[in-house]
Amino acid sequence: MFLPEKRDYAILGTGALGGFYGACLQHAGHSVHFLLHNDYDVVCKSGLVIESKNGDFTLPKVNAYQDIHKMPPCDVVIVSLKTTQNHLLPQLLPPVLKKDGVVLILQNGFGIEKTVADIVGEQRVMGGLCFLCSNKTGAGHICHFDYGAIKLGEYANSVGVTERMRQIASDFKSANIPIQMVDDLLLARWQKLVWNIPFNGLSVVLNATTVEIMENADSRALVKQLMQEVAVAAKSSHHLISDNFIEKMLINTEKMVAYKTSMKLDYDAGHKMEIEAIFGNVLRWVDVELPMISMLYRQLKFLDL
Amino acid sequence: MFLPEKRDYAILGTGALGGFYGACLQHAGHSVHFLLHNDYDVVCKSGLVIESKNGDFTLPKVNAYQDIHKMPPCDVVIVSLKTTQNHLLPQLLPPVLKKDGVVLILQNGFGIEKTVADIVGEQRVMGGLCFLCSNKTGAGHICHFDYGAIKLGEYANSVGVTERMRQIASDFKSANIPIQMVDDLLLARWQKLVWNIPFNGLSVVLNATTVEIMENADSRALVKQLMQEVAVAAKSSHHLISDNFIEKMLINTEKMVAYKTSMKLDYDAGHKMEIEAIFGNVLRWVDVELPMISMLYRQLKFLDL
């Protein structure tokens, strides 16, 4: 599982997340190709502008594409679309992925690697969990507020930490992006869902920030119960989320400043929410009763229309 | 269990419900005494104005009181406050209730009769379930839109339909208010909760009318699941709510015009919601797991602040 010595990157989805990471990679000297949609003309003309707490920079010229068939095949294809666009992946991935290349999914949620594995084969799939606060404030203009670390793992079972993971990690580190390699991607996904399910869901249904949710005894209790339900779901796939982990996550959230979740930002902006990736897939693929997650899912689906 | 031949009525809470029923009773020639708070001055001066689909009428002069201690002891004390005011009942009930009188609770929810029984003794408690659409549109001014029937029952176990129930029913019938006497008040309460729990709760959390809730597949599924959870709760108190009953209630609701629930009206008006009477008491007094009702309860408590 080696990638060539110099890796070409494709960014499918040049938004707040893909645009930020791709720009950092290019800024560090790597070869990056960006797929764009609405912002294509602006980015061709003016490049990408990154305002970052790590230092602002501009890339006046980037390899921008509107058509996947005009992109060169790449070693690492980063999927950073909203999951609500994932129905496009069967068309997008095959043309842009080199024979020995790998797809790196930097999306929220659960079960997306499986979808991609069905397209490109499970040996060519990796996942990453991003802990990033960034916004796209205009076409080709991204503001990076805080964090930025990625947990990186192979999708294929029991392969552990591979050489190509180290290669990708080295590229990201050279771009000042903290990377942690994990040997159990699914566990990392469950751990992230412990936070994402209660806070993304309740922030929309209750119209609240993380601080408002944590300060009220009832919503705080709901958060904890939903976290415990995620642990029940994880257990059914043989992954342990301990009570201690949940307690720590509650305490860490209490220390955060008031924060609008990504789902709340989408909802307020009138965008489709990532309900299926974060909630629907868990409910479909886990064989235990999850009454609270299920109720939150249905409430969100009502509000999504 | 007899009341005197001519019954004096007290109305504790002269709002959309108590004001309407009390005015109807007085209009039919019965002796009625109204407890008022904010509307006292206006009602002393101008009486009560009822706009009703059964015919408008005005009562220029009513027995209005601001102070419970100035009211005469009555044979039938109707509790038609919002349940959020029920902490006042230990002060309000004893002065106004005749020795052989009865308290008739015309409130939404569950377990309120028990609270009142603790104050006046369970032999002096009745409950009524009102199927009434009315609004208070101004001080002493009530609009009655639709329905109006009451299901009346004794609180004390196994006493069945009593003579005093027949006496009260006869007074209400003389006032053109349809009355159905039931020998199992608690079953009637459970049956009403089958509707009230899902629709009151979801209408607030999802900011939706009954029609919007019924038209969306996900919220409709939530309604049905919540109704089934109410049936589980009822079963634990040995009351049967059949699947057939639930299906009928869904079909009846589909036939209704778009309707804002009482809880939604309270929420939109910035009033406290009757969360404890409708949800909290069920959760406290029933010894089975009710995860969906419990979640809805906590969501409402968050939104109530």
Residues A29 and A133 in one domain: yes
Question: Does the pLDDT of residue B257 top 90, yes or no?
Answer: no
How far apart are the CA of B157 and the nearest CA of chain A, in angstroms?
35
Q: For residue B192, indicate whether it is catalytic.
A: yes
Which one from B82, B151, B192, B264 is the annotated catalytic residue?
A: B192
Domain identity same for B17 and B147? yes
Range of the domain at A289: 187-303
Q: How confident is the model at residue B146 (pLDDT cuts 50, 70, 90)?
A: confident
Return the pLDDT at B12: 98
| A299: nearest CB among B205, B291, B305 | B205
A3 domain residue, yes or no: no
Shared domain check, A169 and A98: yes
- Residue A147, in any domain of the structure: yes
What crossing angle do the helices spanning B243-255 and B185-205 adopt, rounded to 10°?
50
Percentage of chain B beyond pLDDT 70 is 100
- Chosen for mutation from A298, A300, A304 (greatest number of chain B CBs closer than 10 Å) is A298
Confidence category of residue A257, pLDDT binned at 50, 70, 90 = confident
Q: Is pLDDT above 80 for A1?
A: no
The CATH number covering residue A132 comes to 3.40.50.720
Q: How many domains does chain A have?
A: 2
State mean pLDDT over B142-159. Answer: 92
Among A2-6, A58-62, B1-5, the range scoring the smallest mean pLDDT is B1-5
pLDDT at A133: 87
Q: Is a pLDDT exceeding 90 seen at residue B154?
A: yes
Q: Which domain-ending residue is among B136, B161, B183?
A: B183
The answer on B22 and B87 residing in a single domain is: yes
What would the mean pLDDT of B262-288 be, rounded to a whole number? 95
Asked if A298's CB is within 8 angstroms of B219's CB, the reply is yes
Note whether residue A1 is domain-resident.
no
Residues facing residue A144 across a β-bridge: A52, A134
Do residues B216 and B171 share a domain? Answer: no
Q: What is the pLDDT of residues A93-144, one digit of tens each?
A: 999 999 999 999 999 999 999 999 999 999 999 999 999 989 899 999 999 9
Same domain, A15 and A154: yes
| Residue B202's pLDDT band (cuts 50, 70, 90) | very high
- 3-state DSSP of chain A: CCCCCCCEEEEECCCCCHHHHHHHHHHCCCEEEEECCCCHHHHHHHCEEEEECCCCEEECCCEEECCHHHCCCEEEEEECCCHHHHHHHHHHHHHHEEEEEEEEECCCCCCHHHHHHHHHCHHHEEEEEEEEEEEEEECCEEEEEEEEEEEEEECCCCCCCCHHHHHHHHHHHHCCCCEEECCCHHHHHHHHHHHHHHHHHHHHHCCCCHHHHHHCHHHHHHHHHHHHHHHHHHHHCCCCCCHHHHHHHHHHHHHCCCCCCHHHHHHHCCCCCCHHHHHHHHHHHCCCCCHHHHHHHHHHHHHCC
> Can you give the pLDDT at residue B305?
73
**Minimal Cβ distance to B218: which of A216, A291, A302:** A302
A178 and A56 together in one domain: yes
Read off the pLDDT of each residue in B43-57 and give the average, rounded to a whole number: 97
pLDDT of residue A260: 85
* Chain B residues closer than 8 Å to A301 by CB: 216, 218
Confidence class of residue B179 from pLDDT cuts 50, 70 and 90? very high
Percent of residues, chain B, with pLDDT higher than 90: 93
- CATH code at position A290: 1.10.1040.10
Decide if B2 is inside a domain. Answer: no
pLDDT beyond 80 at B118: yes
Among candidates A222, A301, A303 on the partner chain, residue whose Cβ is nearest the Cβ of B295: A222
- Look up the ipTM and state it: 0.91
- Confidence at A157, pLDDT banded by 50, 70, 90: confident
pLDDT in tens, A188-212: 999 999 999 999 999 999 999 999 9
Residues of A in contact with B301 (CB under 8 A): 216, 218
Segment A39-63, tens digit of pLDDT: 999 999 999 999 999 999 999 999 9
Nearest-CA distance A35 → chain B (Å): 35
